[in-house]
Structure 1
Amino acid sequence: MSSSERVTVQVTRLPHGEGLELPRYATDGAAGMDVLSAEDFTLAPGARHAVATGLAVAIPPGYEIQVRPRSGLALKHGISVPNTPGTIDSDYRGELKVILINHGSEPFAIHRGDRVAQLILAPVTLAKWSEVAELDETVRGAGGFGSTGGHRAL
């Protein structure tokens, strides 16, 4: 994708974000931008923390930023984003924070400048409800969790 095809997102660096890189794509094929911690802390097993990034953004109308875990942190240390994907709405102007949870068995130290999550700019399609007396029939019907098969234990 050329830079002329990219959507501009305004960003303000807050005082505690000075000196940190802005979120960026690690490779040409990356979908998510790595975002950095603007603080030092240790996340105890089972604990959650809203990690400061030192950034505030103005997302264009019609878009959201999704916050997703970094796969390496999740696999190696059990560090994840509990509300995956988290959503930052286009009308939010406060500090961008990343909620992390430690699913691991050991405390995990985060240092200022560490990559803590991925940000993905995504278009938003707004729904318009149409209330009807009955829904159309499908093969699945009202079959819920596990109704289409899959794992033997379901």
Structure 2
Amino acid sequence: MEKITIKLKWFLPPDERDIHLPSYETFGSAGMDVEAAVRKPLPVSPGEIVLVPTGFGVALPPGFELQVRPRSGLAVKHGITLINSPGTIDSDYRGEIKIALVNHSRADFMVRRGDRIAQLVVAPVTRADFEIVVELDVTERGAGGFGHTGL
């Protein structure tokens, strides 16, 4: 299993660094849980979108991104997920990482300091160039779009 080092900078003052660093909960975990660095409980009403601070920023090595993904337990039990999933933290972004949560349930939800609100997955990035052509290769599917194969 390949391992890289990611530089992390706190945006929190020293007396507010009770938030844990992103971490893998088990040996086989693909994502690192990330905690909410809210100063006071943050209510999220049904249908509402909130931006939750994490209190840190990162410097990823070139050629990598951090994918921000929902936590399945929050989604299934509370209807809390990410509005843009997966979100991407680019290797040249140096600001505080914030998590865009949305409440898809019918009940209010409270985000509290230290709650594990998302997962961060380190992923390699492949860059591409486009080549303009007159025709695309023929495939069995062709131009069949959404739902063309049935339910």
Q: TM-score if structure 2 supplies the norm length? A: 0.94
Determine whether 1:22 maps to 2:21: yes
Query: Which stretches in structure 2 are left out of the alignment for 5+ residues?
Result: none
- Give the alignment partner of residue 9 of structure 2, picking from 9, 12, 16: 12
Query: Which stretches in structure 1 are left out of the alignment for 5+ residues?
Result: none
Query: Displacement, 1:138?
Result: 0.6
Please give the alpha-carbon distance, in whole angstroms, between the structure 1 residues aligned to 2:87 and 2:113: 21
Please give the alpha-carbon distance, in whole angstroms, between the structure 2 residues aligned to 1:52 and 1:42: 14
More displaced, 8-17 or 37-46?
A: 8-17
Please give the alpha-carbon distance, in whole angstroms, between the structure 2 residues aligned to 1:62 and 1:148: 36
Instruction: Tell me the equivalent position of 1:87.
Output: 88
SS at 1:72's partner residue? Answer: helix
Instruction: Tell me the equivalent position of 2:148.
Output: 147
Query: Displacement, 1:148?
Result: 2.1
Query: Displacement, 1:115?
Result: 0.2
RMSD: 1.0
Alpha-carbon deviations, 1:3-32, whole Å to 9, x = none?
Answer: xx4111100011255121100000000000
Percent identity of equivalent pairs: 55
SS at 1:76's partner residue? Answer: helix
**Segments of 4+ in structure 1 off by > 2 A?**
none
The number of residues matched between the two structures is 147
Please give the alpha-carbon distance, in whole angstroms, between the structure 2 residues aligned to 1:132 and 1:9: 40
